[in-house]
Amino acid sequence: MEDETTIERITAKKVFKNSKISVKITTLTRTGIGYDIIDVENPDYVVSDIENIIAPELVGYPASDQDFMDSIICGTSVDNPNITMGVSISISRAAANSIGMPLFRYVGGSLSTELPVVGCSLLTDNSNELIAIPMAESIDEMITCYEKILSELSSKYDTVNIYGKCVCNNIFDELDNFKFILNDIAEEEDVKILVGASIYEYEYAENQDIYERISSLDYLESPEIVEFDGTLAIDGIDEAADFSKIEPYTMGTLTEMYHYINYILDKGLTPIIMSNNTSFSHIAVGLRVPFLRSNINSNVLNELWDIERILNNPNVNRF
């Protein structure tokens, strides 16, 4: 396996994606290829750091030894976690492709058969967001729920932003309507659909009775601990919460992310991967993370649909 996955070259180039210039990192082994695309502020500097600092340290070593590869990456002078995670992912994908194995199976082994629930923000006021979480038995069923929810929302809201979210003036004014749509589709599809929100602006709480309104939610994302009877997700780790959010491109490498997930689990919390990158559809399955948050117009759901087809008869790991 090591001969097959020996890294021969790592390149970086600027690409135009989602209306901005990003950097594509490509790892080539003797028999395979892997890549990742990262959003950066200074693409030229990033390309230089990858090709002149990181790549020379990795060429000639086996991509299949992820822990060793990641230790080399962390040992370079490049300390931007966005860059180092991008290189780490491209290496992992190259290793998986070199041996003809799906990334989720390469990461988690043959027992990786549980798919995560995917929650998507569907209505925003550009400060806070309302989230739908279909607790479906399959990705196919999950996608059907989202398709029907989006159809209903698009008939009521004229504006949709670049992330696929309908735009309103104030989500709290639309909460009852949003819940009605989800409950109606849940009954029609015989699927429980949780109603959630991502709240980052509490400034006008006193005027709008926000705390009273969010008490009717099933799921809440908040930057800090708040009083809430449902499932609470926060940015850091606090045992008073239920979920801890993981932003992969702040982790550094896949190895660091793996250890951080285990640390979250040791604290009695459940990890959530927050990403629109299809690689993390595979990582969530491989590392048995039960909940994935992404934009509805990303390819995350579609990638999970493909994984579902590969597995043929998987379980959805409903939290």
Query: pLDDT tens-digit profile of 71-96?
Result: 999 999 999 999 999 999 999 999 99
Length of the chain: 319
Asked if the model's pLDDT at residue 210 lies above 90, the reply is no
What pLDDT is recorded for position 318? 59
Which carries the bigger pLDDT value, residue 287 or residue 318? 287
Q: What's the pTM?
A: 0.92
Q: Count of CB atoms within 10 A of residue 43's CB? A: 18
Report the C-alpha gap between 208 and 215 in whole angstroms: 13
Asked if the model's pLDDT at residue 313 lies above 80, the reply is no
Asked if the model's pLDDT at residue 207 lies above 90, the reply is no
- Which residues are registered as beta bridge partners of 34? 27
Q: How confident is the model at residue 18 (pLDDT cuts 50, 70, 90)?
A: confident
Asked if the model's pLDDT at residue 298 lies above 60, the reply is yes
Pairing of strands 114-124, 315-317: parallel
- Tell me the CA end-to-end span of the chain in Å, nearest whole number: 36
Mean pLDDT, residues 176-180 taken together: 95
- Which residues are registered as beta bridge partners of 291? 117, 272
Domain with CATH 3.20.20.120 in the chain: 114-317
Domain with CATH 3.30.390.10 in the chain: 7-101
CA angle 73-78-79, nearest 5°? Answer: 95
The C-alpha torsion from 107 through 111 and 113 to 119, rounded to 10°, is -50
Give 224's contacts (C-beta < 8 A, 6+ positions apart): 234, 235
* Architecture of the domain spanning 7-101: 2-Layer Sandwich (3.30)
Q: How confident is the model at residue 209 (pLDDT cuts 50, 70, 90)?
A: low
What pLDDT is recorded for position 202? 60
Query: How would you classify residue 156: left for phi > 0, otherwise alpha for psi between -120 and 50, otherwise beta?
Result: alpha
Token pair for 143: 């996608």
Phi, psi of 240 (to 5 degrees): -80, -15
Query: pLDDT tens-digit profile of 130-162?
Result: 999 999 999 999 999 999 999 999 999 999 999
- Greatest pairwise CA separation for the chain in angstroms: 65
What pLDDT is recorded for position 280? 96
CATH, range 114-317:
3.20.20.120
